[in-house]
Structure 1
Amino acid sequence: MPDLLIELFSEEIPARMQGRAREDLKKLVTDGLVEAGLTYASAGAFSTPRRLCLTLEGLSAESAMVREERKGPKTDAPQPAIDGFLRSTGLTLEQLEVRDDKKGQVYFAVISKPGRKAAEIIAEVLEATIRNFPWPKSMRWGSGSLRWVRPLHSILCILSDEAGAEVVPLDVDGITSGNTTEGHRFMAPGRFVVSSFDDYRAKLKRAHVILDSAEREAVIWHDAQNMAFARGLELVEDKGLLTEIAGLVEWPVVLMGDIAEAFLGLPPEVLQTSMKEHQKFFSVRNPKTGRIEGFVTVANRETADQGATVLKGNLKVLSARLSDAKFFWENDLRRVKSEGMEGMAAGLANVTFHNKLGSQLARIERIEALAREIAPKVGAAPDLAAEAARVAKADLQSAMVGEFPELQGLMGSYYARAAGLPEAVAEACKGHYSPLGPSDAVPSEPVSVAVALADKIDTLTGFWAIDEKPTGSKDPFALRRAALGVIRLVLANALTLPLSAVFAAAQPGCDTADLLAFFHDRLKVFLKEQGIRHDVIDACLAMPGNDDLTLLVKRAEALAAFLKTDDGVNLIQGFKRANNILSQAEAKDGVEYSFGADLKFAEVDAERDLFAALDAAEAAISPAIAAEDFAAAMAAMAALRAPIDGFFTEVQVNAENGVVRRNRLNLLSRIRQICLSVADLTRVEG
C-alpha cells in the first residue's frame, strides 16, 4: 500500500490560523478519500509559516468495485415508467433482470462500478479541498480565480512505495503538482526533490525548517529556559504565546536581552503585556524580587553575529514601546494623586454602558448600592464595599487601560494603592471581574466578593429588565458567563444568599422568576460537569429555598451520594411503589389520604414496625433539614428501606376491611410526606 504526501506551499500563513488549517486539511482530504472508497492506516498534519503538509500511510492503491442493486417498475408497467428507469440506470432493457415479487414480476438493475486508481481520486479530492478551503480570510492574486490565505506557490503531491515515488497529476489555476519543495527562505533558498515523507522531513531539517510545530515549541521553550536559568532568572510561562511564536518561525533561534533600568519600576504585568502584545516577547522574571528584568525573543534565522544585530533592533523598538507604557503609568499616577480614584472615575458619566441602561457612572452607582446590600451577607463592611464599588472601574478612564484593555481591574488595584485606599479596596478593583472563565480563580476576600457579585448581578438584572436575554447560541453581553460567575462566587464561598431578594433589590423591573430559572439552567450545566445527574438536580430544584444556591447544592450532593448506595436505590423503588399505590387509590376514591394513620389498626408486625420506623425517621429528618444537614437527613431516610420492604412483603394495602385499607393508605401517605420533605423523589429516575 502506498503512502501519500501533500504539501501546499505559500506565502506566510498567519500563526493564529495554522492549527485550524492543519486539522481542516486533514479532515477534508481524508473524508473525501474515504467517501470515494479509499482506506488508510494513519494520517498526520503539519504546518510551518509557509506550508501545510499532510501525510497518509497505508493508503489503498485503488477503490473497491461497487455493486448496486436497484428495484425498478413491474414488467407490465407503462412504457414511460420503464424508459425512465432505464435512463436513470444507464442500462438497456436486455441488461435488466426479471425477479418475482409479492405483487408480480419486477425489473431489477444490477450496476457494477469498477474501482478507481488512488491517484485519480486524490487529484479530485485535493483540487476540491484547495478550491473550497475554509480559511477565515482569503485573497485572490494575479488574474486567477483561486482564493488562498496568501498567494499559493506550489503543490507537492506524491504517492510512494518500495518501487519509488510518483507525482499525482494535478493543476489548480496553473499551479501544477510536483515532487519538489523549498527550505528556509534565507538560510536555504532553492527547491529540491523529495521521494517520501521521511525524506521530505529530513531534507527540510537540513534546509533549516522544523516541520512539526510541537517540535518548534519544544526547542523554543528548552533554549529559553536554559538561557534564563543560566542567569539566575526564570521564564514566565505563556503557552498561547509559545504556540503563536512557533507559528512565526521555521527555524527558531532563541535570543535573550535585558530590560533597561529605566523601565524596571513598571508593574510586571505592564511589562509582560506590552512585550507580548507589541513584540511577541517572553518575559523573564527575577524570582527573588518578582520584577520582570529581561525578555526572550525568537528569530527566524541564524546570523554571523549570533543575533547581536537582531537583539539591537528589538531593543530599540522595545525601548520606544516601554517609554510609552512608562508615560501612561506616570501620567495615571499623577492623576490619581491629584484627583483621587473617584475623580478619575468621574469621566465615566460620559461613557455609555447601554443606551437603555445609562452611563458607566450610573451603573457604578447601582453596583455601589447593591454591594452595600450584599456586604453583610458575605461578611464585608458595607461602607468598605460601597467605597470599593465606587472606584472599581475608575481605571477604565486611565491611559494605561486605554492602551491595554486586558489590564483593566489590575491597574485599578495599583492606582488604588497609590491613592492610599485600603488594601481590601485595591483587591476588589482587581478581583471584581472574576471569575471570568471556568479556570479563573474565585475571589474569597469579602469586599471583593461583594463587589464581584454586585457587578455581575447588576449586569444580569439590567439586561433582563430591558428584555435582552441570551437566545440560542447568541449571548452578546456574556450573560451566561456572568451567571456562572455568580454561581461560582456563591458556592466557592459557601454563601447563604437568597437570589430572588437580591435580584429584586438590584432591579425592581426585572422578572426575577425568569432570571432564577436561567440561573437554574446554568447550575444544571455546572453540576453536571461535577458528576451530578440532571434528575437529582430537578428533585432538589422542586424544593423550597431553591434560590439559595449553597443550600440547593448541599441537598443535591447529599441526594446524589445517597442514590449511589444500595439503600438509596432500594428506597427509591419503595417510595415509588408507595406513591403509585396511593395516587391510584386517591384517583379512584376521589379523596386525599394525607392523615389519620393509627397504630391501633395495625394487624401485623411488619405494619407496626413501619409505624415505629416512620416515627423515628420523622424525628431525625426534621431537625436535620432545619440544620441543613442533608447527609444526616438522607441517613435517617435510609433507615426506612428495610421496614418499607418488609411492609410490602407482608401486607396487602387494599384490604377488604375498609378501615384497615384507609389506615394503610394513610400510612403510605406518611412515607410519601417524609421522603418528599428531603427532595422531590418523584423526579428521580429509576
Structure 2
Amino acid sequence: MRKDNLLIELGTEELPPKALKSLSESFAEGIKQGLESSGLKFTAIQPLATPRRLAVKVSQLDAEQADKVVEKRGPSVDVAFDDDGKPTKAAEGWARSNGITVEQAQRLKTDKGEWLLHKADVKGEPLSKLLPGIVESALKQLPIPKPMRWGDSDAQFIRPVHTLTLVYGDQSIDAELLGVRSARHILGHRFHAPQGFELAHADDYEEQLNAHYVNVDQQQRMDTIRREVNRIAAELGGKVVEDEALIEEVSALVEWPVALQASFDEAFLDVPKEPLIVTMKDDQRYFPVEDDQGRLLPRFIFITNIESKDPQQIVQGNEKVVRPRLADAQFFFETDKKQSLESRLPKLASVLFQKQLGSIQDKADRISALAGQIAGQLNASVDDAKRAGLLCKADLVSEMVLEFPETQGVMGKHYALNDGESEAVAEAIEQHYWPRFSGDNLPVSDVACAVALADKLDTLVGIFGIGQTPKGDRDPFALRRAALGLIRIMVEKGLNLDLQDVISTAADGFSDRLSNKTVVSDVFEFLMGRFRPWYQDQGIDVDVIQAVIARAPSRPADFDARIKAIASFKQLDAAESLAAANKRVGNILAKSEIELTGVINHDLLSEAQEQTLAAKIAQTEKSCEPDLATGNYEGALNRMADLRDDIDAFFDNVMVNADDEKVKTNRLNLLMQLRNLFLRVADISLLQ
C-alpha cells in the first residue's frame, strides 16, 4: 500500500495570539482522531501554526483504507425457512439487502444455534474521499467561543479564511470547506513575500515557507525569540525578565521573528520597576532587561515581524510609543506619593468586597485583628501584623493600581516605605497576596505570614459563612487557591497553628454577618479536602493521604509530619501485615455491640500470646510517648512496627470471641488499645 506525507493548511486572517497554541494542538488532535477512526495508519502527526495559518503535517500516511471482510448475520435457520424448507420473506428480504440470494448465503453455527451469514468484501475508501470529512470534523471541534462570519458566506470560523490546501505527496485533494475551495496556493509573509507560492509536494511545505519568510513551527519561533532576547540582553550586560507566557504570545504575533533593542529615559527608573515592567510587557509585548542585582536597565528588547533595511526607524518608533506609557506610570507614582496609605483607608469604605460581608475597609479591619492574633501565636510582632493588615488593601484605591491592577501589593510596599512605615510592615503588605499561583513564593517573615493567612481565612470563612461555596468549575472568589495557599504557608513554613482555632477566630470577626451556623466545620472540611490533590501532585500515594485524613489532624504542619511518617512506614517489611491486622481489628470492633473502655483486666489474660501482646502494647505506648509528643511520628511507627510478630501470634492462637463474656470483652479492650495506639498517628488500616 502506498504511503506518503500529508499537508493540511488553512490560511486565515490574524488569529488570536493567546489562543493560537491551543487551536493548533486541537486541530492536530482532531485530524489524528479522524484518521485513526477511519483506519488510516501513519507514523507521526505535527501541529504547525503562525498568526495567519493553522496547519498539520502527517508523516507516512496510508493512501487508502485496507480492504476488509464484513460479516453480516441474518435470521436464524429456524426463522429463515418454513416447514417445507423454502426461504421465508424474512430470509429473502435479508438476502436482497445484501445483494445475494438465500442460496448464496453461508451458515454460522454456534452452541446457541445456526444463522444465515454473508461475508461481504468491502474495499477500502481512498484518502481523497475521506480527508474532506475528517478535516471538516476537526474544524468543528476547535475551541472557538465566538465564531464569526465574513462577506456574504454562511461559513463561520474564528477568523476569515482565505486559502485551503490539502496535499498528499504531490497530489492535491479536492475539497470545499468554510466556503473555500482547496488549492495548492500557500500564503507567504505579508510584507516580504505577499505573492506566496504553489505547493508542489507536501514535503516542500516548511522549506518553501522559510524561503518566503515564514517559520511555520511555533516552537521554533519561541526558541528563536528566547535565544535572541537572551543574546541581546547579555550584550547589554543584563538579563531578560523571564516570562514564558510572553514568549509564547509574541511567537503567535509574528511569522518571522527579528529581535531589536531600544532604550528609554533613565529618569523613568525613579519609578518602581514593577509598573514599568507591566506596561512594557502587557501593553507593548516588550522584554524588559535587568542587571544582576535585579535592577531595571533603561533598555528593552522587542520582536518585529520583518527584516528591515533601516531597523533604526523601527527602534525609534517603538521608543516613541513606550515613552507616554512610562510617563503615565511616572505621573501616577508621583501623584500617589502625595497621599499616605493611611489617609486612603476611608476610600476603602466605598469599595465593596461582598454585599453581605461589607466593604474592603471592613475586610481590612478584620484582617488587622486576625493577623494580630495569629502573630501572637507565632511569637511575631503583633503591632506590625495589625498595622500591615490595616494597610494591606489601601493601595487598591491608588492611581497606579487602578491603572495597573497587577501591581497591587507591591505598590503598597513602595508607598508604605515612602510613608515611613517599617520594613516589616511594608514587606507584609506586598507578601500578603503570596502565594499568588501554584509554585509561587511564600511570605518570608512571620508577620507577613500572619497577614497572608488572615486575608485568606477572612475570604474563606466569609464566603462559606454566607453559603456561597465553590461548585464545579465556578469559584469566583478563588477559594480553592486561597485554601491551597493557606495550607502551603502553614506546612512549608512549619507554623504550629491549629486550623480549627484560627477558623473559629476568623468567624468571630464577622460578628452577626454570617448566616451559615456550621461555617467552622465546613471550612475545615474544605481545607482537609485540599490536602489530597496537593499531596498527590507531590507523588504521595492516595492511601497514605487517606490514612492521615481519616484522623483529621487540625495542625497542617502536624498533618505533613504524619504524611511523611506514613509514607516511610509503608516501605517497611512489617507495613503490609500491620495494615491488614489493623483492618481486621477495626472490623472486629465495628461488629461488636459491647461497650468498650480500652482498659484491660490483666487477671483475665489467660493465654500466653495475649499476655505478651498486652505487655508489649503497654511497653510501646510508654516508649512512643516522647516521639508522639514531639511529632516524631516516624520514630513512633518504627517502635510500633516491632509489634507485628506479637499481633500475628495473638490472632493465630487466641480466640477473641470467647464463650466467657468477660474474657471476650477483655480481649476486645486489648484490641481497642492496640487500635488506638496506631490511630495516634493515622489509620493504617487504609493502606493498600
1:615 corresponds in structure 2 to 618
2:548 corresponds in structure 1 to 540
> CA, structure 1 residues 486+63, in 2 after alignment: closer, same or farther (shift >3 Å)?
same
Matched residue SS, 1:58: strand
Deviation at 1:568, TM superposition (A): 2.3
Deviations 1:294-333 (A, max 9, x none): 011111111222x111111111111111111111111111
Deviation at 1:23, TM superposition (A): 0.9
For the 8 Å contact 1:345–1:395, the answer to whether it is kept is no
C-alpha distance in structure 2 between counterparts of 1:505 and 1:83, whole Å = 83
2:335 corresponds in structure 1 to 331
**Equivalence map 1:169-184=2 (5 Å):** 169-172=174-177, 174-184=179-189
Alignment partner of 1:319 is 2:323? yes
Matched residue SS, 1:256: strand
2:680 corresponds in structure 1 to 677
Alignment partner of 1:518 is 2:526? yes
> CA, structure 1 residues 302+571, in 2 after alignment: closer, same or farther (shift >3 Å)?
same
Deviates more, 1:282-291 or 1:368-377: 282-291
> CA, structure 1 residues 572+311, in 2 after alignment: closer, same or farther (shift >3 Å)?
same
Alignment partner of 1:40 is 2:50? no
2:511 corresponds in structure 1 to none
TM-score by length of structure 2 reads 0.91
For the 8 Å contact 1:539–1:680, the answer to whether it is kept is yes
1:189 corresponds in structure 2 to 194
Q: Which of residues 252, 256, 261 in structure 2 aligns to 1:251? A: 256
Q: Which of residues 6, 14, 17 in structure 2 aligns to 1:15? A: 17
- Residue type of the alignment partner of 1:354: Q
Q: Which of residues 267, 277, 281 in structure 2 aligns to 1:262? A: 267
- Residue type of the alignment partner of 2:474: K
1:643 corresponds in structure 2 to 646
> CA, structure 1 residues 115+290, in 2 after alignment: closer, same or farther (shift >3 Å)?
same
For the 8 Å contact 1:268–1:292, the answer to whether it is kept is no
Matched residue SS, 1:20: helix
Deviation at 1:137, TM superposition (A): 3.2
For the 8 Å contact 2:507–2:520, the answer to whether it is kept is no
> CA, structure 1 residues 579+61, in 2 after alignment: closer, same or farther (shift >3 Å)?
same
C-alpha distance in structure 2 between counterparts of 1:173 and 1:472, whole Å = 35
1:558 corresponds in structure 2 to 565
1:24 corresponds in structure 2 to 26
Q: Which of residues 577, 599, 619 in structure 2 aligns to 1:570? A: 577
Any stretches of 5+ residues in structure 2 without a counterpart?
Answer: 81-87, 509-513
- Residue type of the alignment partner of 1:330: E
Deviation at 1:666, TM superposition (A): 4.8
Deviates more, 1:288-297 or 1:473-482: 288-297
Alignment partner of 1:625 is 2:631? no
C-alpha distance in structure 2 between counterparts of 1:387 and 1:171, whole Å = 68
C-alpha distance in structure 2 between counterparts of 1:398 and 1:81, whole Å = 84
The sequence identity of aligned pairs, in percent, is: 36
> CA, structure 1 residues 199+367, in 2 after alignment: closer, same or farther (shift >3 Å)?
same
Deviation at 1:471, TM superposition (A): 1.2
Deviation at 1:235, TM superposition (A): 2.1
C-alpha distance in structure 1 between counterparts of 2:669 and 2:478, whole Å = 51
Deviations 1:196-229 (A, max 9, x none): 3442211211211112122222222222222222
> CA, structure 1 residues 677+274, in 2 after alignment: closer, same or farther (shift >3 Å)?
closer
Matched residue SS, 1:135: coil
> CA, structure 1 residues 209+564, in 2 after alignment: closer, same or farther (shift >3 Å)?
same
C-alpha distance in structure 1 between counterparts of 2:402 and 2:293, whole Å = 31
> CA, structure 1 residues 89+438, in 2 after alignment: closer, same or farther (shift >3 Å)?
farther
> CA, structure 1 residues 419+651, in 2 after alignment: closer, same or farther (shift >3 Å)?
same
Deviation at 1:493, TM superposition (A): 1.7
C-alpha distance in structure 2 between counterparts of 1:179 and 1:444, whole Å = 60
C-alpha distance in structure 1 between counterparts of 2:456 and 2:27, whole Å = 41
C-alpha distance in structure 2 between counterparts of 1:135 and 1:221, whole Å = 29
> CA, structure 1 residues 52+624, in 2 after alignment: closer, same or farther (shift >3 Å)?
same
- Residue type of the alignment partner of 1:192: F
C-alpha distance in structure 2 between counterparts of 1:502 and 1:522, whole Å = 17
Matched residue SS, 1:507: helix
> CA, structure 1 residues 659+126, in 2 after alignment: closer, same or farther (shift >3 Å)?
closer
Question: How large is the RMSD of aligned CA atoms in angstroms?
Answer: 2.7
- Residue type of the alignment partner of 1:644: I
Q: Which of residues 283, 288, 291 in structure 2 aligns to 1:286? A: 291
Deviation at 1:460, TM superposition (A): 0.7
Alignment partner of 1:140 is 2:149? yes
Deviates more, 1:135-144 or 1:352-361: 135-144
Aligned residues: 671
Deviation at 1:652, TM superposition (A): 5.5
C-alpha distance in structure 2 between counterparts of 1:547 and 1:42, whole Å = 51
Deviations 1:261-281 (A, max 9, x none): 221212111111111111111
For the 8 Å contact 2:239–2:290, the answer to whether it is kept is yes
Q: Which of residues 634, 637, 648 in structure 2 aligns to 1:634? A: 637
> CA, structure 1 residues 128+658, in 2 after alignment: closer, same or farther (shift >3 Å)?
closer
Any stretches of 5+ residues in structure 1 without a counterpart?
Answer: none
For the 8 Å contact 1:283–1:294, the answer to whether it is kept is yes
1:73 corresponds in structure 2 to 75
> CA, structure 1 residues 400+283, in 2 after alignment: closer, same or farther (shift >3 Å)?
same
Q: Which of residues 132, 140, 144 in structure 2 aligns to 1:123? A: 132
TM-score by length of structure 1 reads 0.91
C-alpha distance in structure 2 between counterparts of 1:347 and 1:89, whole Å = 82
C-alpha distance in structure 1 between counterparts of 2:578 and 2:141, whole Å = 59
> CA, structure 1 residues 117+348, in 2 after alignment: closer, same or farther (shift >3 Å)?
same
Deviation at 1:404, TM superposition (A): 0.9
Deviates more, 1:95-104 or 1:354-363: 95-104
2:223 corresponds in structure 1 to 218
> CA, structure 1 residues 317+87, in 2 after alignment: closer, same or farther (shift >3 Å)?
farther
2:206 corresponds in structure 1 to 201
C-alpha distance in structure 2 between counterparts of 1:421 and 1:652, whole Å = 72
**Equivalence map 1:263-662=2 (5 Å):** 263-287=268-292, 290-305=295-310, 307-335=311-339, 340-508=340-508, 509=514, 510=516, 511-543=519-551, 546-580=553-587, 586=592, 590=594, 592=596, 594-598=598-602, 601-604=605-608, 606-649=609-652, 651=654
2:7 corresponds in structure 1 to 5
